[in-house]
Amino acid sequence: MRERGRTRRLLGLGARTGGAMIRTRLGGQADWRALGEALFAGLSELKGPAMKLAQIMSQWDDLLPPDLAEELARLQRQAEPMPWPRIRETLVEQYGDLEGVFREIEERPFASASMGQVHRAVTRDGETLVLKVQYPGLAEVLESDLTQVRRLMRLGRWLKVPQARLDALFEELAASLRGELDYHAEAEALARYRARYAHLENLVIPEPLPELSGPRVLAMRYAPGTPLRDLESGDAALRQGVAVTLADWLTEELFTHGELHADPHAGNFAVDDQGRLVIYDLGAVIPVPEPRLSAMMQLLEATLAGDPMAMDEALLRLGGRQGQGAPLALYRESAEAVSPLFAPGEQDFSDVRVHRRLRDLTPKVWAAMDRLQPPADTLLLSRTLNGHYWNLVRLGARLDMHARTRPLLEWARR
């Protein structure tokens, strides 16, 4: 990756995005489809932090204009790969004589992301594995890219997001991106998760191969599967089984182990030919302190009780509200929108009435941004849970959230 020209292109994309936001704020119409196409083309080539930020944004299905969200979502599954000669350079640095180690390496990656891409390979012994290869030169341009991303994020002030919150979001993003460059840490996370969740028969986590891995190449045993997004119109029973596995795993992650896989976009998940959920990427795993988790459950309990004053008290404890005057009417509407998913019995996550109510709340949430802000230290946690909510929506999950959350609420009370 070369730094020359990246700054100019990133600033150009930022200016185009800012122009669309300003036109909308002034009552005009923005061509969100054209903007999304431009962002897809530019960011899929540039890779790195700006592309990662766009992938994060694409998970906010309930906030973005649909045309823009659809184009950004392509970055999760159709990003342009880096040319093979550049990738081969990294592999040669790692292995030396490639022909001496591998019988075959597919030049066309089967997955391309913001920080690296994945190639299938066959060893001289005939074993099929995958190589996650970090983009060449990424570490060298990372800090420069982050500087430009910080500038782009200043556009959030047009949405009444305070600078302190923008700074916190940036620091969270920067720490996450720096962490994703550490393939040794990801290999350790894969090994830890494989051992921890071995009892979940419907969950598959690829096995890392330390002897074939290095600072910029992570080797894993091949675990084939159908991408989660491709299941949206598939067999209902299969989708339901995957949804249950996903919900069970997330609950155990949070409430038993105090950790969370924090990159929930659908490209990181698949389903194998036995109907098991496959998790491909553990480059972002975050700790979730018990007091934070307990406070969030207290907010959920107040929400399900439809008690706006208790919701405000919980948000104040979380650090999620400031200023004068609690938006009590917004709290009531939020509780009415969310509560149906937690009614007794199985509830349908694909119920469009729930999505419509959540989408209708969006402008009211933005209007209250001077008083209502996500706590700085829960931004990644909140984004992750929101991303998994939409994964369950795409699967058409039918879950009894009342039964699932009741023991968790009791745990938080204790």
In the predicted structure, residue 231 carries a pLDDT above the cut 80: yes
Compute φ and ψ for 137, nearest 5 degrees.
Answer: 75, 5
In the predicted structure, residue 132 carries a pLDDT above the cut 90: yes
**E strands, 56-169, in order:** 102-105, 111-112, 116-123, 128-134
Nearest to 205 by CA among 185, 183, 220: 220
Q: Which amino acid is at 377?
A: D
Helix (H) or strand (E) holding 218: strand 217-221
Q: Give 6-24 pLDDT, tens digit per residue.
A: 556 655 655 555 555 545 5
Contact 170, 150 (CB under 8 A): yes
Choose the weakest-confidence range: 76-90, 158-172, 178-192, 303-317. Answer: 158-172
Which residues lie closer than 8 Å to 148 by C-beta, 6 or more apart? 6, 7, 10, 11, 14, 50
Q: Give 44-91 pLDDT, tens digit per residue.
A: 555 666 666 666 665 555 556 666 666 666 655 556 778 899 999 999
Burial of residue 237 (CB within 10 Å: 0-12, 13-18, 19+) is exposed
Higher pLDDT, 219 or 81: 219
Tell me, what's the pLDDT at 10?
Answer: 55
Contact 292, 380 (CB under 8 A): no
3-state secondary structure of 235: coil
Q: Give 248-261 pLDDT, tens digit per residue.
A: 999 999 999 999 99
Tell me, what's the pLDDT at 1?
Answer: 47
Tokens of 383: 């984004």
The whole-angstrom separation of Cα 365 and Cα 347 is 25
Choose the weakest-confidence range: 142-146, 185-189, 284-288, 312-316. Answer: 142-146
Tell me, what's the pLDDT at 377?
Answer: 67
From residue 32, alpha-carbon distances to 5, 10, 176, 248, 359 in Å are 25, 18, 28, 37, 17
Helix (H) or strand (E) holding 273: none
Question: Which whole number is the average pLDDT over 164-178?
Answer: 75
Tell me, what's the pLDDT at 382?
Answer: 81
Contact 377, 292 (CB under 8 A): yes
Higher pLDDT, 37 or 380: 380
Tell me, what's the pLDDT at 384?
Answer: 86
Tell me, what's the pLDDT at 186?
Answer: 93
Burial of residue 218 (CB within 10 Å: 0-12, 13-18, 19+) is buried
In the predicted structure, residue 94 carries a pLDDT above the cut 90: yes
Question: Which whole number is the average pLDDT over 331-354?
Answer: 91
3-state secondary structure of 269: strand
Q: Give 273-326 pLDDT, tens digit per residue.
A: 999 999 988 988 989 999 989 999 999 999 999 999 999 999 888 877 776 788
Tell me, what's the pLDDT at 17?
Answer: 59
The whole-angstrom separation of Cα 93 and Cα 381 is 36
In the predicted structure, residue 192 carries a pLDDT above the cut 60: yes
Tell me, what's the pLDDT at 61?
Answer: 53
From residue 313, alpha-carbon distances to 165, 322, 323, 340 in Å are 20, 11, 13, 23
Tell me, what's the pLDDT at 296?
Answer: 92
The whole-angstrom separation of Cα 3 and Cα 86 is 15
DSSP codes of every residue in 16-33: HHHHHHHHHHTT----HH
Tell me, what's the pLDDT at 22?
Answer: 46
From residue 69, alpha-carbon distances to 19, 302, 347 in Å are 17, 31, 26
Tokens of 405: 């959350």
Tell me, what's the pLDDT at 180?
Answer: 82
Tell me, what's the pLDDT at 73?
Answer: 64
DSSP codes of every residue in 310-351: HHHHHHHHHT-B-SSS--HHHHHHHHHHHGGGGSSS-EETT-
The whole-angstrom separation of Cα 21 and Cα 143 is 26
Nearest to 284 by CA among 114, 165, 137, 118: 114
Tell me, what's the pLDDT at 26?
Answer: 43
Please state whether 217 falls in left (phi above 0), alpha (psi between -120 and 50) or beta. beta
- pLDDT mean across residues, the chain: 82
Judging by DSSP bridges, how do beta strands 347-348 and 128-134 pair with one another?
unpaired
Higher pLDDT, 378 or 108: 108
3-state secondary structure of 259: strand
Residue 177: pLDDT band by 50, 70, 90 thresholds? confident
Nearest to 294 by CA among 171, 371, 378: 378
In the predicted structure, residue 190 carries a pLDDT above the cut 80: yes
Q: Which amino acid is at 195?
A: A
**How many CA atoms are closer than 13 Å to the CA of 230, on its beta-carbon side?**
10
According to DSSP H, which parts of 117-162 are helical?
138-153
